Structure 1
Amino acid sequence: MGREFLHLIDISTAHKIISNLFKEIYQQKIEEVELKDAYGRILARDVKSPIDLPPFNRASRDGYAVKAEDTFKASEDNPKILECIETIEAGSIPRKKIERGCCSRISTGAPVPEGADAIIMVEYTEEKGNKILIYKSAYPNQHIALRGSDISKNDTISKKGALLSPEKIGALSAAGISKVPVIAKLKVGILSTGNELIKPSDKWSPGKIFDSNSHSIAAAVKNCGCEPKILGIVKDDYMKLYNAIQSTIKKCDILITSGGTSAGAGDILRDIIDNMGEVIIHGISIKPGKPTLIGKVDDKLVFGLPGFPVSALIIFNVLLRPYLMEFSGKSSEHKHMMDLPLAQRLHSSKGRVHYALVKIRDEKAHPILKDSGAITSLADADGYIKIPKNVEILEEGSIVKVLPFF
């Protein structure tokens, strides 16, 4: 007969313990990364512009740089005539100052020459030799992006805690910033256990199943802003698993295992963590995921998730995701939660908090009634609902809160 769980605790107690463990063990670190590698990272400090943007008075239209006063009262019937003294392309430097009665041909993005205070669009001009006929008057600063009008030197371009999106990366690049300070990623090792498991790249043989947890959990870890490390598959053998944990714990900040947590004769993870460090939680009053184990080895957290794919991913989402997100500087709140009516009656396990997969269809939450080993239930699911431990039945039409996986 298998051993009993260490001590069943409720989900709120588990959250308090995990939150305290994260605060006790982990501290955010800052690293500098190249801008080309910064997408999706979180800024660790405010970033200030080293220059004015734009860095010079810049033409925002193709046309002619003029003194605005030279164009006053210009019309199609009474054009003003100016002498064109040079052509200024984007990327070049003006060589001549604009005096009264003169203008320079200019391209969008080019520096505005000294003496000019307006751009006349080419559509309102006519060229005759070096003489330019102006058919519309201009006003001061017309079609000129003034130096520093976008952002001034030493102004903040992006604030601490900002998610580095394409538009933020573009703004930083425009200011000549090539490296940015970001929150360093936690390295999360993922180890699958079980005699029945083989890699997805291996040839299938009777009695074996392909390891799906490593890749689904790795994707979930990456979504949290952390760096996953898939560490392979280990057999249900005490010394093999012991040696695997001993060697892999050095390569990561947190270790996640899947399988080997139930209170059965063949499940050995609890004994190993007991011998290597400390088992803090073994057994949570939750469905699925009752046998979840949390321990500490070499001052690093070890999360023992159930082997069933649905159980593993739900427990990751419920118990680990909020703290990885918070540590990474990302919002841990589900931004797309939906209140929907339940499409059919659903029975729950009274006495335990129950998380049930649902599919959204016709603006209703349809329960997915498959066991926690059915991997297709994850592929079908749009999210899950939380059923309180004192609820045994949810009637059809009950309003439930659907939490998306990510």
Structure 2
Amino acid sequence: MGREFLDLVDTREAHSIIRSLFQEIYHPPKVEKINLKYAYGRVLAQDVKSPIDLPPFNRASRDGYALKAEDTFHASEDNPSILKCIEVIEAGAIPQKKVRRGYCSRISTGAPIPEGADAIVMIEYTEEEDDNILIYRSAYPGQHIAPRGSDMPKNEIIAKKNSILSPEKIGAISAAGISKVPVIAKPKIGILSTGNELIEPSNHWTPGKIFDSNSHSLAAAVKNCGCEPKILGIVKDDYTEVYKTIQESIQECDILITSGGTSAGAGDMLREVIEDIGEVIIHGISIKPGKPTIIGKIDDKLVFGLPGFPVSALIIFDVFLRPYLMELSGKPQMEHRTIELPLARRLHSSRGRIHYALVKIENNKVYPILKDSGAITSLADADGYIKVPKNVEILEEGSNVKVSPFSQ
């Protein structure tokens, strides 16, 4: 058990299986209500409608005097209308007096319009003289008044389902008095590294050991998909320890991602553990790098066993998990963005498997990074990767290739 691959599946079949599993297990996505102050960047699970008219009352849109428009007809610099001010209405106050012919109320922007008034003359076109207000410009009915519901009537949609909550949407929602919104719950993705050789990153290196980089790179990739990563640490290549850790970890997350322990070697028992706890669905994909990838199911949750080499782990994540995690988190699905440029040098590939090769872009040319999938520096140098079809052995210098950036 664990010493040989199950039947290899090609990438098309792998995508078909993964897509079906996500539909079966995770759709429709979970919904939660959260406070608006935590809502930035989240995805709405339902339409949000205004429970009130906006504005909720007839509101002044300028500082000035609320009055009857007919009192100002024919007013000019040479022949001002003369009115009596009966009260001052500040924003947030409630008018106490009705405006009649020959009278006005001093009003601030945002304050409610007093009964009887149908227009506002801006303060710039008025003057106080003793107990009188001189109006030097005529007004028309409705001037500088924002009617109730003119911005948004009650029950109108403020923000639509599946939209990302931006500062503008959050501002509009809060203006309607809404403090909590329904959003798609962030899927919790557990990340576990396996291997006797791994230690946590620190200032102290131990001979024979290597620092665990996969946990942190995969956590960043998970965040980029709109999900919530949970780094679960390192487990040694021991059947009992791996069994116990996976059994416990699967309870803490919606999806578990492991790295390492997937190939058909004597020390790799991940497939055996998954089979004993749940079910192995895929063990081996016809792809380079990343052939020994495992996909399983435990307690109706998916487990993705990625190769331990950093390049392999990130490429498998980007190709086989990223699109489904983004969909699950509600992030907009865009076509995988590619950049088409000429190859700077010849690239050899292995016939029979699709090859994803890391590349760097310089001077509008694509340079293959010729390091093995265990070289972490190749990721630091890479701008993305190219896909070489399985029936192609050589890509000639100058041939156009499509580069897929890691971050979409």
TM superposition shift of 1:202: 6.2
SS in 1 for 2:250: helix
1:55–1:10 distance in 2 versus 1, CA, 3 Å: same
Task: Find the counterpart in structure 1 of residue 180 from structure 2.
Answer: 179
* Alpha-carbon displacement from aligned partner over 1:380-404 (angstroms, at most 9, x marks no partner): 3333222222223333443333323
Check if 1:24 corresponds to 2:11.
no
Aligned residues: 405
Distance 2:341 2:79 in 1: 69
Task: Find the counterpart in structure 1 of residue 53 from structure 2.
Answer: 52
Unaligned 5+ segments in structure 2 are none
* Alpha-carbon displacement from aligned partner over 1:279-320 (angstroms, at most 9, x marks no partner): 111111112211111111222111001111221111111101
What aligned pairs does 1:67-82 form with structure 2 within 5 A after superposition? 67-82=68-83
Task: Find the counterpart in structure 1 of residue 7 from structure 2.
Answer: 7
Distance 2:161 2:375 in 1: 42
Check if 1:405 corresponds to 2:383.
no
1:23 counterpart letter in structure 2: Q
CA RMSD of aligned residues (A): 2.0
Task: Find the counterpart in structure 2 of residue 321 from structure 1.
Answer: 322
Check if 1:270 corresponds to 2:271.
yes
Check if 1:373 corresponds to 2:371.
no
Distance 2:399 2:70 in 1: 72
What aligned pairs does 1:148-187 form with structure 2 within 5 A after superposition? 148-187=149-188
**Could you tell me whether the CA contact under 8 Å between 1:190 and 1:256 is conserved in 2?**
yes
Distance 2:140 2:97 in 1: 22
1:388–1:73 distance in 2 versus 1, CA, 3 Å: farther
* TM-score normalised per structure 1: 0.93
1:372–1:130 distance in 2 versus 1, CA, 3 Å: farther
TM superposition shift of 1:236: 1.3
* Alpha-carbon displacement from aligned partner over 1:34-53 (angstroms, at most 9, x marks no partner): 11222222221212111001
1:76–1:351 distance in 2 versus 1, CA, 3 Å: farther
Task: Find the counterpart in structure 2 of residue 355 from structure 1.
Answer: 356
**Could you tell me whether the CA contact under 8 Å between 1:323 and 1:332 is conserved in 2?**
no
Check if 1:256 corresponds to 2:293.
no
2:6 counterpart letter in structure 1: L
Task: Find the counterpart in structure 2 of residue 134 from structure 1.
Answer: 135
1:341–1:137 distance in 2 versus 1, CA, 3 Å: farther
Task: Find the counterpart in structure 2 of residue 235 from structure 1.
Answer: 236
Distance 1:342 1:139 in 2: 69
How many percent of aligned residue pairs carry the same amino acid?
77
Task: Find the counterpart in structure 2 of residue 223 from structure 1.
Answer: 224
1:274–1:174 distance in 2 versus 1, CA, 3 Å: same
Task: Find the counterpart in structure 1 of residue 84 from structure 2.
Answer: 83
Which stretch of structure 1 is more off in the superposition, 270-279 or 231-240? 270-279
* Alpha-carbon displacement from aligned partner over 1:344-389 (angstroms, at most 9, x marks no partner): 4333333222222333444444433333223233333333222222
Task: Find the counterpart in structure 2 of residue 208 from structure 1.
Answer: 209
TM superposition shift of 1:130: 3.5
1:321 counterpart letter in structure 2: R
* Alpha-carbon displacement from aligned partner over 1:151-192 (angstroms, at most 9, x marks no partner): 111111112211122211111111111111122222211101
Unaligned 5+ segments in structure 1 are none
Which stretch of structure 1 is more off in the superposition, 245-254 or 119-128? 119-128
Which stretch of structure 1 is more off in the superposition, 223-232 or 301-310? 223-232
**Could you tell me whether the CA contact under 8 Å between 1:278 and 1:296 is conserved in 2?**
yes
Task: Find the counterpart in structure 2 of residue 395 from structure 1.
Answer: 396
* Alpha-carbon displacement from aligned partner over 1:315-338 (angstroms, at most 9, x marks no partner): 111101111111222223247543
* Alpha-carbon displacement from aligned partner over 1:99-147 (angstroms, at most 9, x marks no partner): 2222222222211222222222222222224422222222222222221
Distance 1:73 1:335 in 2: 65
1:86–1:377 distance in 2 versus 1, CA, 3 Å: farther
What aligned pairs does 1:93-132 form with structure 2 within 5 A after superposition? 93-132=94-133
Distance 2:403 2:61 in 1: 48
Task: Find the counterpart in structure 2 of residue 338 from structure 1.
Answer: 339
1:123–1:390 distance in 2 versus 1, CA, 3 Å: farther
2:90 counterpart letter in structure 1: E
Check if 1:143 corresponds to 2:154.
no
**Could you tell me whether the CA contact under 8 Å between 1:321 and 1:332 is conserved in 2?**
no
TM superposition shift of 1:257: 0.1
1:321–1:130 distance in 2 versus 1, CA, 3 Å: farther
Distance 1:129 1:348 in 2: 93
SS in 1 for 2:92: coil
Which stretch of structure 1 is more off in the superposition, 336-345 or 114-123? 336-345
TM superposition shift of 1:342: 3.4
Distance 1:209 1:317 in 2: 24
Which stretch of structure 1 is more off in the superposition, 198-207 or 174-183? 198-207
